Amino acid sequence: PDWDITEVEGVHQLRREFRFKNFVQAQAFTNKVADLAEEEGHHPAILLEFGKVTVRWWTHKIGGLHRNDFIMAARTDRLFEG
Amino acid sequence: PDWDITEVEGVHQLRREFRFKNFVQAQAFTNKVADLAEEEGHHPAILLEFGKVTVRWWTHKIGGLHRNDFIMAARTDRLFEG
């Protein structure tokens, strides 16, 4: 329920906003997600702002959503909770 | 010339895209800009994607651009060149 499906330039993407108390915490989360992405060779868009990180997952190759994007979204949630 | 002025939800912002060979380099640049932001207590929006980082500077308090945003943009360029 925390993720919505958004359309960016005709491409469906999974998107969720994560809230933080400050910029340092938001930056740390950005790095956790980026490290996971690099590990998996699957790269989202991560928007880092003051107190907020917005993550979007989609599969470039198919220009849309693949099962793997939903898995990555769930793993992103675990990074947030952990 | 590399920065343009964009309007996001009625707020003028300075925006520039920086290109990188890979995600790791883009992530490293994201952290450089974020560290500078935290040092200065002035926080941009940083969008990290595969091979690309888009930085937007503006002044929250005045809902637009202040001289300081142009200084931060120039300092961001130096982080990119350095």
CATH code, A75? 3.30.1360.20
Residue B71 tokens read as 């200084």
Q: Are A46 and B48 in contact (CB < 8 Å)? A: yes
Reported confidence tier of residue B72, pLDDT bands at 50, 70, 90 = very high
Residue-wise pLDDT for B19-33, tens only, equals 999 999 999 999 999
CB pairs below 8 Å between A and B: how many?
A: 46
CB interface of A with B, residues 10-49, below 8 Å? 23-24, 27, 30-31, 34, 37-38, 43, 45-49
ipTM for the whole complex? 0.95
Residue-level pLDDT, tens digit, chain A, 82 residues: 699 999 999 999 999 999 999 999 999 999 999 999 999 999 999 999 999 999 999 999 999 999 999 999 999 999 999 8
pLDDT on residue A1:
62
Go through A17-38 and write b for each residue having 16 or more CB atoms within 10 A of its CB, e for each that does not: ebebeebeebbebbbbbbebbe
Partner-chain contact B30 A48, CB within 8 Å: yes
Q: How many Cα neighbours within 13 Å face the side chain of A59?
A: 12
Q: Which domain holds residue B9?
A: 4-81
- The domain tally of chain A equals 1
What is the nearest CA distance from B21 to chain A, expressed in angstroms?
14
Neighboring chain B residues of A43 at a CB cutoff of 8 Å: 23, 49-50
